[in-house]
Amino acid sequence: MPSAAPAESNPYPTVPLVWTGLFSLYIVVWFLEFGKRVPALGALRFEFLLGGVLVVAAILSISSREESNTSRLTKFICVYFVFLLCDLALSRYFWTSWDVFVERLLKFSCMALFTYAFVRSPRTLRIFVLVLMLVFFKLGEEAFIGRITGSMIWENQGIMRLNGQLGSRFGHPNSLSGLAIGALPFIYYLFPVLSRKWKMGLLVLLVFAVNIIIFTGSRTGYIATIALAGFLWMRSGKKGRFFAALVIVAVVGLPFLPEQYEGRFKSAFVGQEIEGHSKAGRLEIASDAWHLFLENPQGLGIYSFRFARVELLGKADYDTHNLYLQLLVDLGIVGTLVFGLLLTSLWSELRSTDLTLARVEGELREAIARMPARAEEARRHLADIRFMRATASAFLGYLFARLVMGVFGHDLYEIYWWLASGASIAIVNMQPIAVTRTAEIIRRSTAPQPPIAAPPRVALSAFVPLRAASGGAPR
């Protein structure tokens, strides 16, 4: 009988396929808002029921684990939650704060919980990222068709602006642009580590993303795209080639940019708007937010600015349009520090993981170069490490882009931070296993092989007919 294949060294924890599938379905349901697309599912509160099942499964999965969580980020998430609960009691507009806490913060944080519970190996990480790319692809495809047909583009602030589905989370041009920009780091970092067929999909996704970024006419999106390009250039190992590619894209692409969007881009830095006074309005709102913070350094409570602006300043109920002013006004100095520690930990975890995996990848590549042909396990492990590292780098870029867009958007209570936090915890928890597996694979694959024993020599008498042994002469 053939011998059994050797067991893998230091295997990753396994996740039942049913939970991987249900979590993937939840991502699709949340981003594509099935409850609005399919009224029957909305009436059944399908997203809520699915989320409830996953919460129970996630808690049971986490409580039954023998290994400990290796990410420091979890304690900062816990501290942030404790602060928010305490802040609720002190909110100037308690019921508003309570609704936002339950409907946004509590629900969106489940994305981090599910990722931590169900993404535990390179295989489940691949599924998680694939599903994210698929929902980005679907939303991008709808926007692309909507621009061609004109069904999702109409005049706003003096230009024709591309919008998302009416009433959806990404219906506003700025939100849709932010979604597309968030896909760019994944396209950039995943492209080198995927096979050709998946690369073709990423190229199509890039076309969809560029379409959204240009035709939404979002100045926030334009600035964030430039900043992200600078961030990717700074982290690139081939800065000259990267810069040359950017120059070629600019020289070839800018002449084809419609005049109205070129003017929109320029108005983000100099010049006047074609229509409306959004820049002047933002400056006034920022001044009001700063004034309210100075008067209430302890914070007014979760999602309180727009109501305080009406009550205390006698002005219209607008949001801050700035993440950092939103933090100061709503959560105060202490809340800003707590959230800042959460972001700092998130950035540190992703950065540290990327550096560690880069070192391990280098060691494994060197070992593979001197391994015999039986190093197939090492090559599979190298593919896993490359994908983990690409995902960590992509979320670093994603986080950077969201922080830049936060200068112009009030995104404190959105899902972006929880999505990045959950992915970071998952990858960080895989990292020690990846390091241990690498050391073990290198040790076993480079160990000297025992010499192959020569086959036993058979005496010639063994071929003598049996009758010779009885005295008869052989023929």
pLDDT in tens, 318-343: 888 899 999 999 999 999 999 999 99
Does residue 129 lie in a domain region?
no
Domain tally for the chain? 3
Does residue 250 lie in a domain region?
yes
| Whether residue 438 sits in one domain with residue 290 | yes
CB 405 within 8 A of CB 178: yes
Does residue 458 lie in a domain region?
no
Q: Of the residues 276, 293, 317, which one is the last residue of a structural domain?
A: 276
pLDDT for 453 equals: 53
Does residue 391 lie in a domain region?
yes
| Whether residue 79 sits in one domain with residue 50 | no
CB 153 within 8 A of CB 215: yes
| Whether residue 407 sits in one domain with residue 291 | yes
C-alpha distances (whole Å) from 353 to each of 115, 330, 358, 369 are: 17, 32, 8, 24
pLDDT for 330 equals: 95
**Beta bridge mates, 160:** 155
C-alpha distances (whole Å) from 469 to each of 457, 459, 460 are: 21, 15, 13
How far is the C-alpha of 111 from the C-alpha of 21, rounded, in Å?
15
pLDDT for 157 equals: 72
| Whether residue 427 sits in one domain with residue 309 | yes
Minimal CA–CA distance to 57: which of 30, 93, 84, 20? 20
Q: Of the residues 276, 302, 320, which one is the last residue of a structural domain?
A: 276
pLDDT for 404 equals: 95
CB 93 within 8 A of CB 301: yes
| Whether residue 225 sits in one domain with residue 188 | yes
**Beta bridge mates, 154:** 161
| Whether residue 332 sits in one domain with residue 191 | no
Does residue 35 lie in a domain region?
yes
Q: Would you give the DSSP letter of residue 12?
A: P
| Whether residue 385 sits in one domain with residue 295 | yes
| Whether residue 224 sits in one domain with residue 112 | no
| Whether residue 101 sits in one domain with residue 146 | no
| Whether residue 304 sits in one domain with residue 222 | no
Does residue 473 lie in a domain region?
no
Task: Tell me the residue ranges of DSSP E strands in 247-354.
Answer: none
CB 208 within 8 A of CB 172: no
Contacts of 138 (CB under 8 A, 6+ apart): 32
| Whether residue 377 sits in one domain with residue 245 | no
Mind listing the pLDDT tens digit of every residue in the chain (475 residues)? 344 444 555 688 889 999 999 999 999 999 999 888 888 888 889 999 999 999 999 999 998 887 666 778 889 999 999 999 999 988 999 999 999 999 999 999 999 999 999 999 999 999 999 999 999 999 999 999 999 998 999 887 778 889 988 888 898 899 999 999 999 999 999 999 998 889 999 999 999 999 999 999 888 999 999 999 999 999 888 888 888 888 887 777 767 777 777 777 776 666 555 555 567 788 899 999 999 999 999 999 999 999 999 999 988 888 888 999 999 999 999 999 999 999 999 999 999 999 999 999 998 888 888 776 557 888 889 999 999 999 999 999 999 999 999 998 889 999 999 999 999 999 999 999 999 988 888 887 666 555 555 555 554 444 444 444 444 444 4
**Full DSSP string of 42-95:** HHHTHHHHHHHHHHHHHHHHHHT-SSPP--THHHHHHHHHHHHHHHHHH-TTHH
Does residue 206 lie in a domain region?
yes
Name the 3-class secondary structure at 155.
strand
Q: Which domain holds residue 217?
A: 134-276
Contacts of 447 (CB under 8 A, 6+ apart): none
Dihedral angle, C-alpha 311, 312, 316, 322, nearest 10 °: -120
Q: What does the block give as tokens for 192? A: 């080198």
Contacts of 115 (CB under 8 A, 6+ apart): 23, 128, 419, 422, 423, 425, 426
Does residue 123 lie in a domain region?
no
pLDDT for 198 equals: 92
How far is the C-alpha of 55 from the C-alpha of 57, rounded, in Å?
5
Q: Of the residues 276, 302, 333, which one is the last residue of a structural domain?
A: 276
| Whether residue 424 sits in one domain with residue 292 | yes
CB 378 within 8 A of CB 368: yes
